[in-house]
């Protein structure tokens, strides 16, 4: 099933939009209360253990997010492609029920972006990026732990499709391989209960 969905997402955009439309409807019908609670709980700046802050980001943060993503090195984002980075795509993502989008901040400056891509069957896919000026400070690991906490609050399984070549990212998680995918990618499920890494 995952292979088919990946094929549709990357090759049949019109069909993918239809799938997203119905997924959004189902999320709104079946999971509205839990998703609304997450949005309310994380809408204001929340301090982290390492002196940074995070919060839900919305359409009002479009310029900040576009600025962060457009300055990232193309090699760095080679493995990060849950959605396109152009303004129209970002506007769609920030408004869509299919995503919970968050910013990681240093002195109110956006230095990291992470998201849960929601599916109505109680599965979430994660992605994250960090401004290269702030790499090596544990931000990526912290964002992963925050996403795990939210997924546990939703009581959903957390997954990712990730390249087997993306060793740095694979090292920062406790996961099991669900299946191998085309082009050197694997589908992994994270152990969100264990964050001792």
Q: What is the pLDDT of residues 66-93, one digit of tens each?
A: 999 988 877 666 666 678 788 999 999 9
Which neighbouring-strand residues pair with 113? 103, 129
Domains of the chain listed by start with CATH number:
2-190 (3.40.630.30)
Asked if residues 3 and 182 have their Cβ atoms less than 8 Å apart, the reply is: yes
pLDDT in tens, 83-120: 878 899 999 999 999 999 999 999 999 999 999 999 99
Cα 159 from Cα 15, distance rounded (Å): 22
């Amino acid at each position: 099933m995952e292979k088919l969905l990946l094929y549709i997402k990357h090759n049949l955009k019109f069909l993918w939009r239809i799938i997203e439309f119905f997924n959004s409807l189902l999320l709104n019908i079946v999971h509205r209360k839990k998703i609304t609670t997450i949005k309310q709980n994380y809408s204001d700046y929340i301090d982290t253990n390492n002196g940074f802050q995070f919060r839900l980001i919305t359409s009002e943060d479009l310029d900040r997010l576009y600025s962060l993503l457009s300055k990232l090195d193309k090699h760095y984002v080679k493995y990060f492609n849950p959605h396109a980075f152009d303004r129209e795509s970002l506007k769609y993502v920030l408004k869509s029920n299919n995503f919970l989008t968050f910013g990681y901040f240093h002195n109110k400056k956006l230095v990291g972006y992470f998201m849960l891509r929601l599916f109505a069957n109680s599965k979430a896919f994660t992605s994250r990026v960090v401004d290269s000026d702030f790499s090596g400070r544990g931000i990526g690991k912290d964002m992963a732990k925050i996403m795990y906490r939210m997924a546990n609050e939703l009581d959903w399984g957390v997954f990712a499709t990730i390249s087997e070549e993306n060793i740095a990212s694979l090292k920062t998680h406790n996961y099991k391989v669900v299946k191998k995918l085309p082009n050197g990618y694997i589908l992994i499920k994270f152990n969100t209960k264990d964050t001792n890494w």
